[in-house]
Amino acid sequence: MSGDHSHNEDQIDCGSRVNDSHKHKDKYKEKEHKHKDHKKDKEREKSKYGNSDHKDSSDKKHRDKEKEKMKHKDGSTDKYKEKHKEKRKEEKMKSFDEKIKKEKENGFASPPYMKSEPEDDFYHSPKHERSLKRERDVDDNDAEFKPKKIKTENDKKAKKRKQDEDIKSKKTKHKKEVTDGKKKAKKEPEEKWKWWEEERYTDGVKWKFLEHKGPVFAPAYEPLPSHVKFYYDGKHMKLSPEAEEVATFFAKMLDHEYTTKDIFRKNFFKDWRKEMTSEERAKLTDLKKCDFGEMSNYFKAQSEARKAMSKEEKQKIKEENERILQQYGFCLMDNHKERIANFRIEPPGLFRGRGDHPKMGMLKRRIRPQDIIINCSKDSKVPEPPPGTKWKEVRHDNKVTWLVSWTENIQGSIKYIMLNPSSRIKGEKDWQKYETARRLKKCVDRIRAQYREDWKSKEMRIRQRAVALYFIDKLALRAGNEKEEGETADTVGCCSLRVEHIKLYPENEGQEYVVEFDFLGKDSIRYYNRVPVEKRVFKNLQLFMENKEPDDDLFDRLNTSILNKHLQELMDGLTAKVFRTYNASITLQQQLKELTTAEENIPAKILSYNRANRAVAILCNHQRAPPKTFEKSMQNLQSKIDAKRDQLADAKRELKSAKADAKVRKDEKSKKAVESKKKAVQRIEEQLMKLEVQATDREENKQIALGTSKLNYLDPRISVAWCKKWGIPVEKIYNKTQREKFAWAIDMAEDDYEF
């Protein structure tokens, strides 16, 4: 369990690899990164510098003029460039000309200039050819925005935080909820704090006062009862507690596929051996001979037993959880009690990365108090470490938002305990994010014009930057930071795309200049998309790929920090990810406008909302594995629909006969009967429709996850405004947690809100 893993790098079968102490990892990084090395790239660049379409030469004068203009308009143009331009200029011009000559020779000259691609077809979502049309921000300089100054987002009715700071956090302990045996939803009289009506901190201070109770540690390991045995090579073997605990981690995962994977087993076994006593280590040399069967069965039985517990027992557990939540789940920040997101420390276990992770199966160490850094204010009551232990450190840094941190042993990265999304500190940031995206909306046309211009640049790095930015904008790709090879699964984003990730088709299915993307993105989710691009982009891609190996970087002169530096110059606060936020939100708004019709009833409107949401999810490539029970649940729904249809037919029949009856009898009673039958038919029709809508929705959603975009990319004010406009209760769109997170938006957005 515990312990120091960095000692003896013992003689394990697979043991030659340095695995822990991350300080060592650079050792091979160097080698592995060779192929990306810039030396190589520079040479390559030199040899073909300026390679470009034919029309560049004819445009040259024009372009230079354009450039001049550009500079004036946007004085900042590019400091980075300025620095390097001079020294490279001559060299470049030379090779540029050569290149053009070459181009003509090899018949690579381009047909006449092509105007920009159709604007309404700007987005190309992966997988689905469905196009997410939207106008390109015709409403760019919407009058509404003008008066608002960016900085004054919460201009509205700024009270001052100062005020209640002065009251100094007496606030008392949270009044005991102890007494509530029966849930009476005794919501505190303290009505919700509207932090969005207060002034914000500037200058990077995140809080003035912070007090909390520290983390909740994982429960200590409980050794297995003696009847649960472990066998090696068919023989019973009693393991030391440390080795046993690690063995149970494996046993618990036994029916998971990855315990069959070589890397997983290798990593596990190596780390497991480190926890063994030397006798154990001498004896246990082959994982294949280990029999975890009894352990595994024991845990299965345990979980069955847990399910079978009586109401009272379950209630007991629930209450205990509630107690812990009340005690540790909140902190006091600047006079307000705020919910903590993850106050429980991650328990030890076997690391499961996503995708093809080189470290899968490694032992994730148990975190102890001496690993923990506490952050709180000086004048607060510092949380007590468990008896007999000490914190690693207590600090008072109000320039950060975290309450607790520790370093995790797999990648050596830092983990944090932070506040819930409903908290002021998270909410403000979220709000700000959407404000930045809205500012982008105002200047996106200019930026687009600029990068299109840059496709013609004579500098390779500028062209690459411009093409990459085009992808980020058009396809909502992620930035694509560099990663350490061999430390994580091999995934990429825009800037880290490699030649092997795209294919160029001058002509494909009747479209010209098609680029096919096929790569693994974040979380090893596949991005597959075929998209027609502008000719100039296409030609540039050909140029970027010339003389490269499949595993060379497509944008060898670019990385995220160069790109972001450039973006920063185009707009204050602009980074690559802002495009994702912007495009997601603007797409939602535009799709909602397009899809919602006044006549529809509420379920149909909600279907429209979900479709708009779905368009965004597709754009952002938010996929999910089809739920295991998908087919079945679809069938269930279908049979419900069938049943409802029958019911409707019956009801109609009855109505008909009631009508006939009424015609004959002409009395009040039979007329009433007709009326009520009519009502029944109506009601059933409605129910049927609701079911059908539900089925459509579910089917369309099979492999698409809406949650991520809803939670992270869509300006909630758009949704709130939509709800208000159409009289839809927000509860239909946002569940309780979501409403908590977006309380600010729900409170402030009116039905005419425009992103």
Residues in region 15-54 near DNA by CB under 7 A: 22-23, 26, 29, 38
x-marked contacts with DNA along 62-101 as a string, rule CB under 7 A:
----------------------x-----------------
Residue 138 lies near DNA (rule: CB under 7 A): no
For DNA, the binding residues in 648-677 under the rule CB under 7 A are none
Q: 152 vs 481, which CB is nearer to DNA?
A: 481
Residue 581 lies near DNA (rule: CB under 7 A): yes
Angle at 65 between CA 64 and CA 66, to 5 degrees: 90
Residue 263 lies near DNA (rule: CB under 7 A): no
Stretch of 100-108, 110-118, 276-284, 616-624 lying at the interface with DNA (CB under 7 A): 616-624
Q: Which of 365, 622, 644, 717 binds DNA (CB under 7 A)?
A: 622
From the list 298, 713, 734, 753, the catalytic residue is 713
Binding-residue total with DNA (CB under 7 A): 88
| 526 CA to centre of own chain | 14
Residue 214 lies near DNA (rule: CB under 7 A): no
Return the residue matching tokens 């009856």: 661
Give 615's strand partners.
none
Q: 380 vs 407, which CB is nearer to DNA?
A: 407
Residue 358 lies near DNA (rule: CB under 7 A): no
Residue 633 lies near DNA (rule: CB under 7 A): yes
Q: Which of 254, 400, 641, 695 binds DNA (CB under 7 A)?
A: 400
Q: 5 vs 624, which CB is nearer to DNA?
A: 624
Residue 320 lies near DNA (rule: CB under 7 A): no
Q: Which of 624, 652, 690, 724 binds DNA (CB under 7 A)?
A: 624
| 713: annotated active-site residue | yes
Question: What pairing do the DSSP bridges indicate for beta strands 373-375 and 393-395?
Answer: parallel
- Say if residues 484 and 25 touch (Cβ distance below 8 Å): yes
- Please state the closest distance from residue 489 (CB atom) to DNA, in A: 5
Residue 695 lies near DNA (rule: CB under 7 A): no
Q: Which of 136, 318, 656, 679 binds DNA (CB under 7 A)?
A: 318
- The residues, any chain, with a CB within 8 Å of residue 109's CB and separated by 6 or more, are 53, 54, 103
Residue 575 lies near DNA (rule: CB under 7 A): yes
Distances (CA, A) of 241 to 246, 347, 348, 398, 499: 9, 17, 14, 41, 50
Instruction: State whether the Cα torsion 32-34-38-42 is positive or negative.
Output: negative
Q: Which of 109, 158, 414, 660 binds DNA (CB under 7 A)?
A: 414
Report the distance separating Cα 728 and Cα 261, nearest Å.
Answer: 49
Residue 564 lies near DNA (rule: CB under 7 A): yes
- Please state the closest distance from residue 535 (CB atom) to DNA, in A: 27
List, as one string, the DSSP characters of 150-164: GGGTT-TT-B-HHHH
Ramachandran quadrant class, 76 (left: phi over 0; alpha: psi -120 to 50; beta: rest): alpha
Residue 690 lies near DNA (rule: CB under 7 A): no
Residue 614 lies near DNA (rule: CB under 7 A): no
For DNA, the binding residues in 441-460 under the rule CB under 7 A are none
- Say if residues 271 and 1 touch (Cβ distance below 8 Å): no
Stretch of 537-545, 594-602, 632-640, 674-682 lying at the interface with DNA (CB under 7 A): 632-640
Report the distance separating Cα 63 and Cα 69, nearest Å.
Answer: 10
- Say if residues 451 and 469 touch (Cβ distance below 8 Å): yes
Residue 321 lies near DNA (rule: CB under 7 A): yes
Residue 577 lies near DNA (rule: CB under 7 A): yes
Q: Which of 17, 133, 229, 352 binds DNA (CB under 7 A)?
A: 352
Residue 416 lies near DNA (rule: CB under 7 A): yes
Q: Which of 117, 346, 500, 700 binds DNA (CB under 7 A)?
A: 346
- Say if residues 602 and 728 touch (Cβ distance below 8 Å): yes
Q: 237 vs 688, which CB is nearer to DNA?
A: 688
Identify the DSSP state of 381.
Answer: -
H helices present in 234-277, as ranges? 241-252, 262-275
Stretch of 91-99, 134-142, 269-277, 617-625 lying at the interface with DNA (CB under 7 A): 617-625
Identify the DSSP state of 392.
Answer: S
Q: Which of 210, 284, 363, 418 binds DNA (CB under 7 A)?
A: 418
For DNA, the binding residues in 157-176 under the rule CB under 7 A are none
Q: 284 vs 612, which CB is nearer to DNA?
A: 612
Report the distance separating Cα 248 and Cα 223, nearest Å.
Answer: 10
Q: 7 vs 256, which CB is nearer to DNA?
A: 256
- Please state the closest distance from residue 147 (CB atom) to DNA, in A: 26
Residue 351 lies near DNA (rule: CB under 7 A): yes
Q: Is 749 helix (H, G, I), strand (E, B) or coil?
A: coil
Residue 709 lies near DNA (rule: CB under 7 A): yes
Report the distance separating Cα 404 and Cα 215, nearest Å.
Answer: 7
Q: 380 vs 564, which CB is nearer to DNA?
A: 564
Q: Which of 12, 194, 355, 600 binds DNA (CB under 7 A)?
A: 355
Identify the DSSP state of 33.
Answer: G
Dihedral pair phi/psi, residue 342, rounded to 5°? -125, 75
Report the distance separating Cα 442 and Cα 42, nearest Å.
Answer: 37
| 446 CA to centre of own chain | 28
> Among 509, 554, 695, 655, which residue's Cα sits nearest to residue 36?
554
- Please state the closest distance from residue 145 (CB atom) to DNA, in A: 21
Q: Which of 576, 693, 730, 743 binds DNA (CB under 7 A)?
A: 576
Q: 351 vs 517, which CB is nearer to DNA?
A: 351
Distances (CA, A) of 391 to 395, 415, 477, 519: 10, 15, 41, 43
Residue type, 193: W
For DNA, the binding residues in 517-556 under the rule CB under 7 A are 521-525
Buried-state track 647-668, b at ≥16 Cβ within 10 A, e below 16: ebeebeebbeebbebbeeeeee
Q: Which of 361, 369, 383, 480 binds DNA (CB under 7 A)?
A: 480
For DNA, the binding residues in 424-443 under the rule CB under 7 A are 426, 429-430, 433
Residue type, 653: R
CB atoms within 10 A of CB 299: 18
- Say if residues 527 and 126 touch (Cβ distance below 8 Å): yes
Stretch of 115-123, 288-296, 597-605, 615-623 lying at the interface with DNA (CB under 7 A): 615-623
Residue 465 lies near DNA (rule: CB under 7 A): no
Residue 203 lies near DNA (rule: CB under 7 A): no
Q: Which of 324, 637, 695, 728 binds DNA (CB under 7 A)?
A: 637
Q: Tokens for 211?
A: 């007090």
| 611 CA to centre of own chain | 20
- Please state the closest distance from residue 377 (CB atom) to DNA, in A: 15
- The residues, any chain, with a CB within 8 Å of residue 481's CB and separated by 6 or more, are 493, 495, 496, 559, 560
Residue 573 lies near DNA (rule: CB under 7 A): yes
Q: 380 vs 411, which CB is nearer to DNA?
A: 411
Residue 211 lies near DNA (rule: CB under 7 A): no
- Say if residues 535 and 116 touch (Cβ distance below 8 Å): no
- Please state the closest distance from residue 640 (CB atom) to DNA, in A: 8
Residue 713 lies near DNA (rule: CB under 7 A): yes
Q: Tokens for 133?
A: 């049309």
Report the distance separating Cα 367 and Cα 416, nearest Å.
Answer: 12
Q: 60 vs 208, which CB is nearer to DNA?
A: 208
Question: What pairing do the DSSP bridges indicate for beta strands 363-364 and 349-350?
Answer: antiparallel
Report the distance separating Cα 579 and Cα 585, nearest Å.
Answer: 10
Which positions are catalytic?
A: 713
